[in-house]
Structure 1
Amino acid sequence: MTETVTRPEIDNRPNAFTQAEIGWTPWLTPLTEDELTDRHWAGLVDASRSKSPYFMLLARDPETLEARTKTDKDIFYNTRAGLPRAERELSATAASRTNGCIFCASVHSRFASHYSKRTEDVQRLLEEGTGAELGSRRWNAVVAASVSLTGTPSSFGADDIAHLREQGLDDLEIADAIHGAAFFNWANRLMLSLGEPTPAA
């Protein structure tokens, strides 16, 4: 028997990129906290993620979720070297803007604004798209690299790396820009295939 997935009726469904908080609803049934075993809790990594329908849906495959979450945390929170947090978030925002993931773009644009204090530049990226002038050649280069890697990963190459180097990024910073974009290129497409944004709760 094939399960039929129906799109829920949602009033005021978000349809524009924003830095405001919005929600997300899955098209498939996530686990409930009562269903979680020790294996599921380990997969969530952070117990607070049990409040997220997205992570509770991914918890159906706890080993993959655990690897995904630890990779995510290392890319964005391990800032002892490499890119500052704001530019890691900028890279993820550019990938999300390219892929059309309104929910992910809202999350990472807020972080990019918070850590950079350049809210107007981040908003310009959301409103005008990835070709917008963001007030610095360095930010423009990070966005351009993210777009190249997101659109057709195999097209990203030596010229993109050289462009980042011209703006002063070192090897670790370039690696961080690539990791942020590559991870969210994948994460956006997963989220877009499993559900849709909703108004904030």
Structure 2
Amino acid sequence: MARIQVVDETRAEGPLKEVYAEIARKRGSVANVFKIESLNPAVMRAHLDFYMSIMYGKSGLSRQQREMIATAVSNANGCHYCTTHHSEALWKYIRDDATIQAVKADFAAAPVGPKEKAMLAYAIRVTKLPAAVNEVDIERLRQAGFSDADILDMTLVASYFNFVNRLVLSLGVRLERDEDRVYKY
């Protein structure tokens, strides 16, 4: 499964067993991206809490918009694992393979609105050139109709996926079988 030791749910004890149970309850099953953190249950729990907050918490960004960011950023980073997971989640909202493929491959040509295109352009800029982000980028988002709270949320989502993509890629997290990817979106 990975380049480091992973403690499976069947061998988990104590705090790790509790975190696995919490993840399964909240998400439907335990994804390998969480299992990779099994040697540090406190980090796994913090990761779950952060993920749930930025992806499901109260926000001016819709769940669809957040999944679009997750998909585009993960694809830009070459993270097949996260691109697959979040393309599947995005399907729950868009239900159009061509649009999802366009969000991954060339969001500028994707059949989405100008607001979403501005959001995705910003997310990719945060991913590829974070030090180059400037007031012009922020003003472009405001002009597209995003509030400063929305801009914070999209930055959090993009930054989170840059972190997780690196975790997955560096430690060799493997994609679960199709039948094992059963999550609450």
Query: What is the alpha-carbon distance in structure 2 between the residues aligned to residue 199 and residue 77 of structure 1?
Result: 22
| CA offsets 1:62-82 (integer angstroms, 9 cap, x no match) | 111111110000011113x31
Q: Is the 8 A contact 1:83 1:176 kept in 2?
A: yes
Query: What is the alpha-carbon distance in structure 1 between the residues aligned to residue 126 and residue 3 of structure 2?
Result: 28
User: Which sections of structure 1, spanning at least 5 residues, go unmatched?
Assistant: 1-24
Are 2:61 and 1:83 equivalent residues in the alignment?
yes
- Equivalent position to 1:41, from 14, 17, 40: 17
Q: Give 1:139's aligned amino acid.
A: E
CA change 1:92–1:198 in 2 (3 A) is: closer
Q: Give 2:48's aligned amino acid.
A: T
Q: Is the 8 A contact 1:26 1:53 kept in 2?
A: no
The answer for the alignment partner of 1:64 in structure 2 is 43
Which of structures 1 and 2 has the bigger CA Rg? Answer: 1
Q: TM-score, normalization: structure 1?
A: 0.76
Q: Give 2:88's aligned amino acid.
A: R
Query: What is the alpha-carbon distance in structure 1 between the residues aligned to residue 127 and residue 64 of structure 2?
Result: 19
Q: CA offset at residue 196 of structure 1?
A: 5.0
- Equivalent position to 1:148, from 121, 125, 130: 125
Q: CA offset at residue 189 of structure 1?
A: 0.6
RMSD of the alignment, in Å? 2.3
Q: Give 2:52's aligned amino acid.
A: K
| CA offsets 1:100-142 (integer angstroms, 9 cap, x no match) | 001101111222232244542221122x335434432111111
User: Which sections of structure 2, spanning at least 5 residues, go unmatched?
Assistant: 179-185
Q: Is the 8 A contact 1:146 1:177 kept in 2?
A: yes
Query: What is the alpha-carbon distance in structure 1 between the residues aligned to residue 155 and residue 70 of structure 2?
Result: 9
Q: Give 2:160's aligned amino acid.
A: F
Q: Is the 8 A contact 1:130 1:147 kept in 2?
A: no
CA change 1:154–1:73 in 2 (3 A) is: same
The answer for the alignment partner of 2:114 in structure 1 is 137
The answer for the alignment partner of 1:55 in structure 2 is 34
Q: 1:1-201 counterparts in 2 under 5 A? A: 25-44=1-20, 45-47=22-24, 51-79=30-58, 81-126=59-104, 128-198=105-175, 200-201=177-178
Q: CA offset at residue 59 of structure 1?
A: 1.3
CA change 1:155–1:134 in 2 (3 A) is: farther
Query: What is the alpha-carbon distance in structure 2 between the residues aligned to residue 73 and residue 61 of structure 1?
Result: 19
Higher share of residues assigned helix: 2
Q: TM-score, normalization: structure 2?
A: 0.82
Percent identical pairs in the alignment equals 28
CA change 1:119–1:160 in 2 (3 A) is: farther
| CA offsets 1:121-176 (integer angstroms, 9 cap, x no match) | 221122x3354344321111111111111113222232221111111112222222
CA change 1:43–1:152 in 2 (3 A) is: farther
Query: What is the alpha-carbon distance in structure 2 between the residues aligned to residue 69 and residue 107 of structure 1?
Result: 15
